[in-house]
Amino acid sequence: MSLTIAILAHHHLNRVERLVHILSDQNVNICIHVDSDASAVKFRQLHSTFSGRKNVHFVKRISCDWGDFSLINAELRMCTDILKKWPETTHVQLISGDSLPVKPMNALRKMLAMNQDVDFIESVAVGDNNWIAGGLGIERFTLHFPFSWKTERRRFDTAVNIQRKLRIKRRMPKGLKPYIGSQWWCLTRETIQAILDDPNKSVYDAYFSKCWIPDESYFQTLVRKYARKIQSRSLMYYHFDHQGKPTTIYDDHCDILGGVDEFFARKIWPGANELYQTCASGFDGGSGALASRIKLADDRRKTGRQGLRMQGRAPNKWHEKQRSTAAPYYVFSGVQAIFPKFDDWLEAKVDDRPHGKIFAKDAVHFRGNTKTGPGGLSTNPNIRDCAPSDFLGNLSWQSRENKMAFHFESDDQQEIGGYLAKDSNANLYFVRHSWVLNMMNEGIDNHHLLQAKAAQFLANEHAFLSELQEAGGANIWTLGEVLSNPVSILSTILKDLEYSGTIAPMILPEITNAGRVVDFARMLKDIGINIDMAMIETSHINTQQDSQIIINK
């Protein structure tokens, strides 16, 4: 059994040199293709280093572009040279220049000797899997791709969309069914020879040269025609994130890299000195936790730690679900209209004062009207409104050790409303039609202005209420219910805030004089505002402004 390693290298040729030394010392043949776009000086240095070694061979260089058939041409050149130079070769393992062996080559030879007629290549039927992450599926076989996805993205997307609208579809060569999988395979000599000698090879090459990312489909499709037996897996450890980008392996993974089932691993960071040094003596067995550690890192990259916003990038809504905040918090909507001194009352009860209207249009009103908020957050509403959910997330993170609370009203910036409704950490206390009290106390005489403001507040309330009802879990009262029984909402808030004192009897905060609210609401209705009078009319409206004691019965 004779093994040859084919290396597809593009850059960091000093690391390629280290890789070749490691493999050459383990008595395997090595065939190398270096992208012609790589430095000519560094290539000559690499070539001269191994010029005297009979088990190291360099093929003629060509330029290789990502997702282009030039990669297949480079691989075919290596396959052709390998079969000519080392006719005793029984298996060819394709790896990248940023790979490292994680197990001894003797272990690989032993495994291949036990599976002499097996081709190890990930080969999955298109449409029957979730292998593709963030890319085209069957369309990579049926459309034309005259533009580079990497360097001509706009033209690429335009060409794809035009072909979709015109329903342009290419046909696969007769007898082929599309398969897809990892680029990194280990094939038997017989399979490679059959691919190279196929009389229809020129037809296949012409077809795949117009496919997108053919290095993930050319060999994966053709082996199904020639292989005696296929194990649909790669002997290379790799991981793609949720965006289809390869995960980089660092020195941090050194202690567990030996625990993977595969014989090679990529993509190795070129600065991972410890990995390259350790590889020469062999990795320990490790704990087999590499996959779980990378998954944790991948999840952290998508959502971060609970409630922590990343400084390095904004989240992509297409890829990421709504991120939660760091800790439970409390949102009062319409409460202050009924209880003007609610904040003073609550601070006396729980020894913590709520923020004001942090989403007000004029400014961010932190508790105490400070010029900056926790963690240096700005009171500038323009900064806040660039990313309201991130602003809230940062405030929550800075306040995660306390019970953060704030007010959110119908005249605030409403964009954050949907986020509040869906956030599992949000405890919402919403009083419907409470804005009517604020408008009544403003004393607006101009009916046109009054009608415009009331209509906007009502629309904002309906939109927020719809979000709350869809998400579920919010505490909702009508204005009439709170005015008739103010203890209900106040006792609920205290219980949720884990107030340790006695709730009944309760000293209430000052209540707004609501004696005219029914008449004012009817007046709004008469000028065209669709007020629901049932939410305001009550069997009893408390008009007393002084603090009072109500006993729960």
At 62, which CATH number?
A: 3.90.550
Residues 266, 351, single domain; the answer is no
Residue 294 lies in a domain: yes
Alpha carbons 86 and 60: distance in angstroms, whole number: 17
pLDDT of residue 256: 73
**Distance (Å, rounded) from C-alpha 468 to C-alpha 475?**
9
Q: Is there a single domain that holds both residue 334 and residue 459?
A: yes
Q: Which of these three, 285, 303, 321, is where a domain ends?
A: 303
- Shared domain for 285 and 416, answered yes or no, is no
Same domain for 157 and 46? yes
Domain end call among 268, 303, 338? 303
Classify residue 227: in a domain, yes or no.
yes
Residues 399, 484 within the same domain = yes
Residue 290 lies in a domain: yes
Answer yes or no: is 124 within a domain.
yes
CA within 13 Å, CB half, 118: 15
Q: Return the CATH number at 496.
A: 3.40.50
Residue 253 lies in a domain: yes
Segments forming the whole domain that contains residue 267 = 3-303
- Short-list 347, 409, 399, CA closest to 373: 399
Query: pTM (2 decimals)?
Result: 0.64
Give the chain's domain count.
2
Phi, psi of 250 (to 5 degrees): -115, 180
Residue range 458-478: mean pLDDT, rounded: 92
pLDDT value at residue 344: 94
List the single range of 81-85, 315-319, 425-429 with lowest mean pLDDT. 315-319
Write phi, then psi, for 330 (nearest 5 degrees): -130, 130
For residues 288 and 340, membership in a common domain is answered with no
Say whether both 347 and 426 belong to one domain: yes
Which among 222, 100, 22, 89 is positioned nearest to 81, based on CA atoms?
89
Residue 479 domain-assigned (yes or no): yes
Q: Tokens in use for 83?
A: 């079969």
Instruction: Kindly state the average pLDDT of the residues 446-471.
Output: 92
The secondary structure of 129-161, three-state, reads CCCCCCCCCCHHHHCCCCCCCCCCHHHHHHHHH
Question: Which of 258, 286, 303 is at the close of a domain?
Answer: 303
| 298 and 334 in a common domain | no
Task: Provide the 3-class DSSP secondary structure of residue 524.
Answer: helix
Q: Is 514 within 8 Å of 483 (Cβ atoms)?
A: yes
Mean pLDDT of 422-441: 94
Query: Strand pairing partners for 230?
Result: 119
Q: Has residue 324 been placed in a domain?
A: no
- On whether both 512 and 433 belong to a single domain, the answer is yes
Residue 109 binned pLDDT confidence (cut-offs 50, 70, 90):
very high
Q: Do 369 and 279 share a domain, yes or no?
A: no
What distance in Å separates the CA atoms of residue 287 and residue 281, rounded to the nearest whole number?
18
Q: Which amino acid would we find at residue 386? A: C
Return the pLDDT at 311.
Answer: 59
Q: pLDDT at position 320, please?
A: 52
What percent of the chain is modeled with pLDDT above 70?
90
Please state, rounded to an integer, the average pLDDT across all residues of the chain: 87
Please report the pLDDT score of residue 45 as a whole number. Answer: 94
Question: Is residue 119's pLDDT more than 80?
Answer: yes
Identify whether 318 is part of a domain. Answer: no
Give the per-residue pLDDT at 548.
43
Question: For 358-413, how does the pLDDT look when each residue is reduced to its tens digit (9 = 90+)?
Answer: 999 999 999 999 999 999 999 999 999 998 998 999 999 999 998 899 999 999 99
